[in-house]
Amino acid sequence: MNKHIKNGIISMIAWMLFLVILFGSYLYLTNSPFSYFVDEETGGFISSAFFLGWALIWFGIGRHYSIDYEAKKQVFIESHEGIDRYIIDKAFRKAYFSSGAKVLAIVCFISVPCYVAANVKGEPTLKDCILIGMLMLASIILYAYYKRNRAAGVTL
């Protein structure tokens, strides 16, 4: 099995574990039965198809980003010939993941006004304040990571 398919499977399994933990903790905290998440009209077919569909989407995402990472790494290595391989690998990882952190910071930042516009009616509740605070904190942390680890002059 090639490396990209393995990375796709890993991202798919990570997504499934995230969902199981998220929905399992919700069911545990609310004392709801498992049938709460199963659609009654089709006997669970739509719920299963949704779960399987998103698992396949995350397989594709993991595989795509594995291929993208390797291609960009190869170009980066070729453009920096003569430098120690360890230094090149470390610099590339920092540049690659900091560019992803910048995108996620922007998404979290834009999510705050979208969340307020869509979900806050009247006075914000404690839940609203907690979610908005978490989005703002995630945006700040991700942007700080980007600023600290970006490679000046490196285009990925």
> How do residues 103-127 score in pLDDT, each as one tens digit?
999 999 999 999 999 988 889 999 8
Confidence of residue 84 (pLDDT cuts 50, 70, 90): confident
Mean pLDDT of 42-70: 92
Which one, of 64, 79, 63, lies nearest residue 9 by Cα?
A: 63
pLDDT at 134 over 90: yes
Residue whose C-alpha is closest to residue 57's, from 95, 8, 7? 8
User: Does residue 98 have a pLDDT over 80?
Assistant: yes
Residue 151 has pLDDT above 80, yes or no: no
Mean pLDDT of 46-52: 89
DSSP category for residue 96: H
131/35 Cα distance (integer angstroms): 27
Distance CA 57, CA 28 (A): 27
| pLDDT value, residue 77 | 87
Q: Which pLDDT belongs to residue 155?
A: 60
Q: Write down the pLDDT at residue 71.
A: 93
CA atoms within 13 Å, Cβ hemisphere of 54: 12
pTM over 0.75: no
Site of tokens 């990570």: 14
Query: pLDDT tens digits, residue range 13-40?
Result: 999 999 999 988 988 888 888 877 787 7
